[in-house]
Structure 1
């Protein structure tokens, strides 16, 4: 069965939140965690690989030529996945608001979900290694605090980075995403009034 990846809430201090977005009201689960991981929020298309193929976050999405690469890549991964297993990541073939010139590949994974549980970060990296999937870049690993958030924000280059995602490194049910995972997005992130699917296709660059 196809399953949509859950919505990621914004941290309270995220300047990129719009009226349509959800804001995390309580960061208590992040503060209480023994460890969290901050990863770069990549500017692409949220995509899930499952045992029968792949789909963007909007499961009923129409055909777009930029997705051909993703379908071919998923075809090599899907036979290795169990029916209750999903790999979620950012698909970066088409340029959106940020132009990437040195990507390691066009799909960067950030979650391994098994039986509706988001798996621990270290186990996720091991599964990615098994499947030859590159992970999103890590920005910080340690305790969650206002200082840690401020340090990560200050290290961002907001001309070339969208923001970050922070999550606990332990496993959690995907229904608990609103409390165990959050994002920070730069102000005015979307720079064009034309949606990328309606604009001319421009490929991002690889290393």
Structure 2
């Protein structure tokens, strides 16, 4: 295996967007007690892609992806492949519109985590390497240091999840404004691969995926904010 996929992120028990095959962390309060600082980031509605020395991978990591909506990433990868070493850069690929369109999108790829061997890097290290590679990181909504009040954590996550996305958020089907997809909370410090489920938690809005067809069947390229201001159309 030349690449190991990103592990499942367990839902908060109060996350309304769970499905039958999702996993829920019912012990999240115990896990939070072991974390010094927690940050909440926006869960962007894209494809989980990974860049490492061997190529660009989609969710399965069986082999490097060749999909048309990862072409821009494969071009970037060709520029940086010799600089990655043991780093695996994970991010949301927003090149293709999924269930949410972002009217103020500034980039097509936002880094949310970086793994080096069996260790997930701290958020500071993640930002450092993302900047070196000229990639933005996902928007940080808030951060809190111990001691955590579980009631406050739930209230904070619910509050942010009820807001529009940082780049705006429009239902791709109806064209109506909507809330962000959800919130991902993580330990600001680094942690082992084996401890991922105890250090990363997510909240997903109810009924998030509403498209009748899978988005890949008739996908559209997401326009960046500078393109929209110039009136340029979507194109594949």
Q: Would the TM-score normalized by the shorter structure come out above 0.5? A: yes
Pairwise CA RMSD: 1.6
Cα contact 2:186–2:199 (8 A) shared by 1:
yes
* 1:77 shift after superposition: 2.6
* Matched residue, 1:182: 201
* Matched residue, 2:219: 201
1:192 alignment partner, SS class: coil
Say which of 38, 42, 45 aligns to 1:43. Answer: 45
2:101 alignment partner, SS class: coil
- Which of the pair has more CA radius of gyration? 2
Say which of 73, 77, 94 aligns to 2:76. Answer: 73
Distance (whole Å) between structure 1 residues aligned to residue 87 and residue 203 of structure 2: 27
* Matched residue, 1:151: 156
* Matched residue, 1:142: 144
1:64-143 matches, cutoff 5 A: 64-82=67-85, 84-143=86-145
Q: Which runs of 5+ in 1 are unaligned?
A: none
The alignment covers a number of residue pairs equal to 205
* 1:76 shift after superposition: 2.1
Q: Which runs of 5+ in 2 are unaligned?
A: 165-177, 226-236
Distance (whole Å) between structure 1 residues aligned to residue 132 and residue 154 of structure 2: 31
Cα contact 1:50–1:81 (8 A) shared by 2:
yes
Cα contact 1:49–1:77 (8 A) shared by 2:
no
Q: Could you give the per-residue CA deviations for residues 42-67 of structure 1, whole angstroms, max 9, x where no partner exists?
A: 00000110012210111247643212
Cα contact 2:11–2:25 (8 A) shared by 1:
yes
Q: Could you give the per-residue CA deviations for residues 125-184 of structure 1, whole angstroms, max 9, x where no partner exists?
A: 111111111000001111343313312322332614100100111111112111110110
- Indicate the larger mover: 154-163 or 124-133: 154-163
Runs of 4+ in 1 over 6 A off after TM superposition: none
Distance (whole Å) between structure 2 residues aligned to residue 115 and residue 64 of structure 1: 26
